[in-house]
Structures are given as C-alpha cells and as structure tokens.
Chains A and B, each alone.
Chain A
Amino acid sequence: MTENLNHQPYIDLKGIRKGYRIGKESIPIFSGLDLTIARSDFVAVMGPSGSGKSTLLNMLAGIDSPDGGQLRIGSNRLDQMGESARSSWRAHNMGIVFQFYNLLPMLTAAENVELPLLLKPLSARQRRVRVEAVLDLVGLAGRGRQYPALMSGGQQQRVGIARAIVADPALLLCDEPTGDLDRTSADEVLAMLAFLNRDLGKTIVMVTHDPHAARQARRTLHLDKGQFSEQRSAA
C-alpha cells in the first residue's frame, strides 16, 4: 500500500555483499542482496536463526558495514561513510530497540531516555521536557526516577522505546523487541510500535521470530539463504 510517492524508496540496498571471516575462511551471509523500503513502512524481517537478520539490521543501523554493494538511507550512502560520519548519522537519523533493552543500570529511566538528547544542542530544561513527554507517550509518566533493575521487562522495553524515539528519528530499528517479553507485555510493545508507525509516520524495521509480532507489520520479509521472499500482511 505504501508505494512511495516521490519514486525514491527511503531505504535502498543494491547488491549487498557481507561475510564473516573465521580464521582463514570467509563465510558469506549475503552475496548480492537487494531491498527497498518506502518511507513510513513497517517491515518485519523473519527467518531461521543465523540467516543474517541481525547482520542486516546492524548494517541499516550503521554499526556494521557491507563488504560490497550500495546502502542508501534517505540521502545518505552509509556504505561510503567513515566511522565518525556514521556515528553522527546514527545520532540524528536512527533509533534502536534491543531485545535485552540495553539500559544503563547505573542511570535512572529518565537518564537513560535522555542519552540521545545529549548529542543535540538542547538545554537541560529542553531535554527534561522532551524526556517527560516521551515517558508519558510510552505510559511511564512519573516513573522517570526509577532504576531499570526495579522495572518489569515490559516496562524496561518501553524505556528502551522511549530512548529510541526521544530524538525523533525517522527510522526505528528493532531486533526482536518482544523476544524477551511475556504475551501481554509483548502486545503492549507491538501496539506502541504500530502507533509510532501509523500516527507518527516512523519507518520501522523489526526483526522477529514471532509470527504474531510480524502480523503487526505492513510487510513481512522472509530471509533465508541470503535472499528474501516477501509476504504482505493484511493489516
């Protein structure tokens, strides 16, 4: 349904090659992967363990780089960027949600959410207002002073989502965001992602093992043996 209007897909991967070297041997994961994702799409990526889902997501996040091929997001050629350029690209364009939340245990929920804002030219007051707003958005109003260890998994993941969206990035990447959650918490998180996509227009790429989770997405891609097969959701 989201055929892009300006004929330019938001994310464009062409002929991506990627492998890992173990000792002398190079194990190829992708040898010529193509993928386009339109702006404001919500894509689920499924596939067997070891098929390269996380590797793909890490390349989209700019923390891993392809061995060959083109990787464009918006107007940026990530495959041509150096480490510091990618670092600054990450700060301004991408939010990420981890399976195990990856919150800093020594910092409060609010301080964790504030981290991406430290990279922006905002005053402490402006940062606090933003943090409170997103904590409110994820249903954790007033919980900012709590430490992650005292929160349930579902709450921690909502802090993780708040941290991912606080700097208002266009792209949201999630690697098995519900993989560690019970059904109820998982549903809350999925509903939140659906809301961010539908109402705030975020482009979301979500890796998941869970068909139920994948049904929240507009598109589901199956990754196997380094290639995609697609299946569109009814949603």
Chain B
Amino acid sequence: MSSTTRQTLVMLRANLLGLPHRLAISVSMALSVALVVAVLTGFLAMAKGFEQALKGAGSPGVAVILGGGTNQETGSEISPDAIRAIEAMRDDLGVVRDAAGNLVSSREIVVPVDLRLAGDGTGRTLALRGMDTSGPSLRDGVRLSAGRLFRQGSREIVVGDRLAGEFPGFRVGDKVRLGVIDWTVAGHFSTGGSAFESEIWADLDAVRTGFDRQGQVQSLRLRLDSPTSIAPLKGALSAVTGTPLLAIAEADLYAAQSGRTADLIRLFGWPIALLMSVGATAGALNTMMSSVSDRTVEIATVRTLGFGRLAAFAATLAEALLLSLVGAAIGIATSWAAFNGWQASTIGANNAHMAFQLSVTADVMATAGLLGLAIGAIGGALPAFAAARLPLTAALRARR
C-alpha cells in the first residue's frame, strides 16, 4: 500500500468516525441523492417497461401491409381492390401460402372502444381488433390461457390476460357491452406480457358490422418465409396501382412506436432528474464544505506532520462519494421495491389504453446510480480542493 493511500485511508477513517457529529447534514445529503436517483429510476423503468412491452409485440417474421401513405395502423386504409390484387399475385413473394397456394393472411381493423367501468361513470378506451381467423396464428408466442378463440362471424371476443386481470368484467362467459353490441367473452390469451395483451380480439366481420365499418381494412398481416425476405413483397407492392402500399416487419412497426413513446418518457424524466440534481449537488457541496470546516484543525495538523495535499483531497472526495453511494443505494433499493413490476398504463398503439410493467433493470439502476455518484463527485470536488489548499498557519491559529 502506498504512503498516500495509507494517509488517505486514515484520514477517511477519521472523517467517517466523525460523521455522527455531522449526522443531520450528512443524512440529508444522502437522502437528497436518494431522491434524485429514485425519481430517475422511476422514469427510466417506465421507459424500459414500455419498450419491453412493445418489443415483445412485434415479430420480425410477420409482415404488416399498410395503405394510404402512413407507417402505423392508425389512419391506414387498404382498399378491397388492393387486397384482391395482392391475393391474386402468384409470384414468389417470400410469404407463407397454404396447400392450395393461397396467401395465409389476416385482414385487420382496430376500433377504439370505450369500456364503462362499473360504479363511477369513468371509462377507459381499449383497442378492439377485428381479424380473420388466421389472425392469432400470425402472432408469435400466442397462447390461449382460458376458454377458446372467437368463432368466425360470431359476436365473441378473446381478451388479453393483462386486460382480463385489470377489469373484473372480462371473465370467460361474461357479456360485455362494446359500442352498441353485447359481446361474449370466449377466452383469454397470453402473449408473454407484450402489448397485444392489452387488446381485445374478435372476428373481423363482426367488428365491422358492429361499428359500421363495412368493407374497411386497415392492415393485412402475412407470415414471411424468413425474417430477411421482406424485399420481394415490397417490390411486388410497388406494382399495385391505386393507393400506395407499404410492407413493414411487425417488429419494426412496434419498435418505431415504442421508440417514440419511450423517448418521450425519457425526455420528460431526464430534465426533472437533472434539475433535482442541481439542488442535490448544492446540498452535497454544502455538506462537504461544512465537513472540511469542521476538520480544519485536523487537516492542518496531519498536513503539518507531513501528510500530502493529495491525501487531504482524496479523503474528502471519498467521503462525498461514500455518502452519495449510500444515497444512490437507498434510492435504487426503494425505487426497486416500489416500482419494479408496478402496473402502469399509457396511450399506446392505436390510441388505446395500453398496460405495461415498470421494469427496473440493471442498466436502469446503473444509469441512475451513476447520476447519484456524479452528484457526490461534483459536490465533493470543490470542498476536497479547499481541504487540499488549506492554509496551514491560519488553520492552526484558528484554534486559539
């Protein structure tokens, strides 16, 4: 161990043993760091959870065709002519066909529906997706967790597990009024926690009839032969006249949406956390200045004995870093306990309610923790510098 390290350690030890004399101000420093770290952890966990929910939703092996020049389902429209044209294509499009050579596809439409909650008059906007019977099979990782799928042409719905868990009126066999029609809950499905679990699925024609959308199709889903083979499909679509058509991998569709929203959450969270950091840094500066001023005679004494400036600097900075480390640990621990797995909801895809879980991951904790340490480092630097530059004779006279 080098001499400077030994000097630093013994000074740090004396600092820490002296902490009880500066308890209130030291605790307040740690707690303000904890608060900043907890707030940032909360926002980052929200963004992360949102990303995870939507990331799971999209499969790279499924192509979504959109029409009308938009790159999301909302506002997309594919005309019956275009659908006929696509179905008539006999070239190799790189997509899965059935034994008869017909495309395995699902025409889909998403309708926002208001669910009246029992008791109070409030409502929630949910996404009701009408689809062909092949629709569920065109999603990866779908599993029926209760009951059965909807029957073609019938007024039956299957409800995502997350919605079913959130609203008591979605038990299998229950009747639910959506729009002007009563629907029967035929089953529940799970998609491993992804955004689809916030949707309600039903037969395409039943939805179109129930909401007066006859003949409308927003998107067409196809299964790709392989995730890399979307190019032939794109090429074939450009030959279709009439409305402009776009083919996009389902994964990309949701990634684009999750990216926007997650960025928005971060864009909101970071400035708040940074603004609070400014206050916490000022607090840290104040705490450490008072620590140095309490230890003026001690520092001057050991410096007179021959201790180096570097040791005085390092011991003070180390005290600041330790206090902020304790604060960061408290902040991470409490936000993990409070937020991790917490249900949150937001307006997700298709302007409908989407539920997801806050996710306090390792990189969320590391990022927030580093901000906490930065507060200690920045707040401690100036006092550490003051400790190193302490004028010895004046400090020793101060005792008298």
**Chain A positions near chain B (C-beta within 8 angstroms):** 54-55, 58, 61, 63-64, 83-84, 87-88, 90-92, 96, 98-100, 102, 104-107, 111, 115-116, 118-121, 163
Contact B399 A119 (CB under 8 A): no
Contact segment of B97-105, B200-208, B215-223, B295-303: B295-303
Which residues in B have their C-beta under 8 angstroms from that of A104?
Answer: 14, 298, 301-302
**Complex alpha-carbon distance, A64 and B391, angstroms:** 9
Contact A118 B18 (CB under 8 A): no
**Complex alpha-carbon distance, A100 and B309, angstroms:** 23
**Which B residues from 296 to 340 make CB contacts under 8 A with A?**
297-298, 301-309
Interface residue from B3, B13, B14, B399 paired with A102 (Cβ < 8 Å): B399
Contact A87 B307 (CB under 8 A): yes
Contact B304 A119 (CB under 8 A): no
Interface residue from B14, B18, B301, B303 paired with A98 (Cβ < 8 Å): B301
- Minimum CB–CB distance for B176 against chain A, Å: 69
Flag whether B122 is at the interface (Cβ < 8 A).
no
Contact B396 A116 (CB under 8 A): no
Nearest chain-B residue to A120 (Cβ)?
B3
Contact B393 A115 (CB under 8 A): no
- Minimum CB–CB distance for B182 against chain A, Å: 76
Contact A96 B392 (CB under 8 A): no
**Which B residues from 249 to 297 make CB contacts under 8 A with A?**
297
Contact B301 A118 (CB under 8 A): no
Contact A96 B305 (CB under 8 A): yes
Using a Cβ–Cβ cut-off of 8 Å, how many residues does chain B contribute to the interface with A? 25
Flag whether B7 is at the interface (Cβ < 8 A).
yes
Which residues in A have their C-beta under 8 angstroms from that of B3?
Answer: 118-121
Interface residue from B17, B305, B399, B400 paired with A115 (Cβ < 8 Å): B305
Contact B399 A100 (CB under 8 A): yes
**Complex alpha-carbon distance, A32 and B3, angstroms:** 38
Which residues in B have their C-beta under 8 angstroms from that of A96?
Answer: 304-305
Which residues in B have their C-beta under 8 angstroms from that of A100?
Answer: 399-400
Interface residue from A63, A90, A106 paired with B17 (Cβ < 8 Å): A106
Contact A107 B14 (CB under 8 A): yes
For the complex of A and B, list the 10 residue pairs with the smallest distance between their C-beta atoms, beginning with the closest: A91-B306, A106-B17, A63-B392, A90-B306, A102-B301, A118-B6, A106-B14, A64-B393, A58-B393, A119-B306
**Complex alpha-carbon distance, A133 and B104, angstroms:** 93
**Complex alpha-carbon distance, A99 and B309, angstroms:** 24
Flag whether B10 is at the interface (Cβ < 8 A).
yes
Contact A116 B304 (CB under 8 A): no
Contact A91 B305 (CB under 8 A): yes
Q: Which of A116, A118, A120, A121 has the most CB of B within 10 A?
A: A118
Which residues in B have their C-beta under 8 angstroms from that of A91?
Answer: 305-307
**Complex alpha-carbon distance, A111 and B10, angstroms:** 9
Q: Which of A88, A102, A120 has the most CB of B within 10 A?
A: A102
Nearest chain-B residue to A89 (Cβ)?
B306
Which residues in A have their C-beta under 8 angstroms from that of B392?
Answer: 58, 63-64
Nearest chain-B residue to A61 (Cβ)?
B304
A102 and B7 in contact, given A96-B305, A115-B305 (Cβ under 8 angstroms)? no
**Which B residues from 1 to 60 make CB contacts under 8 A with A?**
3, 6-7, 10, 13-14, 17-18
- Minimum CB–CB distance for B312 against chain A, Å: 10
A84 and B393 in contact, given A98-B301, A119-B3 (Cβ under 8 angstroms)? no
- Minimum CB–CB distance for B310 against chain A, Å: 9
Which residues in B have their C-beta under 8 angstroms from that of A107?
Answer: 10, 13-14, 17
- Minimum CB–CB distance for A121 against chain B, Å: 7
Encode B369-400 as 1/0 by CB contact (under 8 A) with A: 00000000000000000000000110011011
**Complex alpha-carbon distance, A224 and B304, angstroms:** 26
